[in-house]
Structure 1
Amino acid sequence: MNRLWDISPVLGPATPPFPGDQAYEQRWTARIGPGCPVNLSALTLSPHLGAHADAPLHYADGAPAIGEVALEPYLGPCRVIHAIGCGPLIRPEHIGHALEKLPLRVLVRTCERAPTTWSDDFSAYAPETLELLAARGVQLVGIDSQSVDPATSKTLDSHHVLLRHDLRVLENLVLDDVPAGDYELIALPLKLAHACASPVRAILRELA
């Protein structure tokens, strides 16, 4: 069997939300005992916790919710590009070494270890880098930080590049142990009717 890399962080009470976002909460609605054969739980959480796929609705009123987007971008050949220590923004020069024969999906690793606590000191995409990838036919981009835009951004320039080119995006990936190179990406979002994002169980599979 081809090797798998699980690139999703654990979701639980310790998962750090974006400031102001809904944290993870779980409660039991039933427990195994006399008259009850099962355990049942209820979850409350932002769909932007952990590894997740943003919907266009997240950054544009009237745009598609996550349950409406096509699944093809989330499944197929993918390239992991290392830009570790690139600074606040991933610029074209940080990924230029890995653009030959680019597949339709690109994930960029920016840090040695994915954060386990909230910090606004993370790398995001420069808008011109997303423009470059879109011009090369990329359909999905991903990143191992909390957002494709800086935490303090109010204009969300990179998100709006995604919107303009109809690119899909994955955020909060864990690429700590993934060598640079080509893989198969499997990261399907849930079919949530009205949601602005969906958690994903993102994995990479070694190519045959």
Structure 2
Amino acid sequence: MDWYDISAPLVNGMPVWPGDTPYQFGLQWTKDECGSVNVGRLTLSTHTGTHIDAPYHFDEAGNKTQQLDLSVYMGPARVIYLPDCARIGKAELSAHDLRGVERLLIRTDAWQEKETFPHVIPHVSPDAALYLKEWGVRLLGVDVPSVDPIDSKELEAHHALNQQGIHILEGIVLSHVPEGDYELIALPLPIVDGDASPVRAVLRVK
């Protein structure tokens, strides 16, 4: 296999953040009706499925989606496996060699029932942000919907990571991906004034 697709499929009825916009795709025009083409229509939140968070999502003064540095979202990446963990902090990360890692993707396998939105997830501890910065990490990806606890209002991990210049990729699908080094492509859409963007995230085997 040359590529791993690590994007969540977008399908009607998929789970979304409680209270957020449901995902919906349908045909606005059909070839049968208009005689020439099928044309679809999407309704979705910017945090649907696999997505990146722009700092503006949690900081009024933060960069918006179209202002993000695209180089962060493509390049060498490392996948590490942290099963059975309630939190992802310095202690958990220190068991792994992060030398030279700019993009770190964490597989936890914690979100098994993809048909329902999880109530509890492994979350990133704020102390992880400085530790990752010291190793030169520029992007952190997780296989759960958020780097913070689902019920968090303070979003401490979001803020801590942003303060260290670390970008956030959430909702990646890594259950089929072995630990190791890859090339990541997970480019956000140029949504003007956007707070986030769905992405098609893929890993190329090095």
Q: Which range, TM-score by smaller chain? A: over 0.9
Superposition pairs of residues 140-151 of structure 1, within 5 angstroms? 140-151=139-150
User: Shift in Å at residue 162 of structure 1?
Assistant: 2.0
- 1:22 maps to 2:21: yes
SS in 1 for 2:95: helix
Residue 103 (structure 2) aligns with: 105
Can you give the 5+ residue segments of structure 2 that lack an aligned partner in the other structure?
A: none
Residue 136 (structure 1) aligns with: 135
Deviations 1:68-106 (A, max 9, x none): 10101100010111101112x112222222234231000
User: Shift in Å at residue 34 of structure 1?
Assistant: 5.8
Amino acid in the other structure paired with 1:110: T
User: Shift in Å at residue 113 of structure 1?
Assistant: 5.6
Distance 2:164 2:71 in 1: 16
Residue 125 (structure 1) aligns with: 124
Can you give the 5+ residue segments of structure 1 that lack an aligned partner in the other structure?
A: none
CA contact (8 A) 1:114 1:144 kept: no
Matched-pair identity in %: 38
Structure-2-length-normalised TM-score: 0.94
User: Shift in Å at residue 167 of structure 1?
Assistant: 1.5
Superposition pairs of residues 172-187 of structure 1, within 5 angstroms? 172-187=171-186
User: Shift in Å at residue 147 of structure 1?
Assistant: 0.2
> Structure 1 pair 100/155, CA: closer, same or farther in 2 (3 Å)?
closer
Amino acid in the other structure paired with 2:15: P
CA contact (8 A) 2:110 2:144 kept: no
CA contact (8 A) 1:110 1:144 kept: yes
User: Shift in Å at residue 114 of structure 1?
Assistant: 4.4
Cα RMSD (Å): 1.5
Superposition pairs of residues 52-131 of structure 1, within 5 angstroms? 52-87=51-86, 89-111=87-109, 114-116=112-114, 117-131=116-130
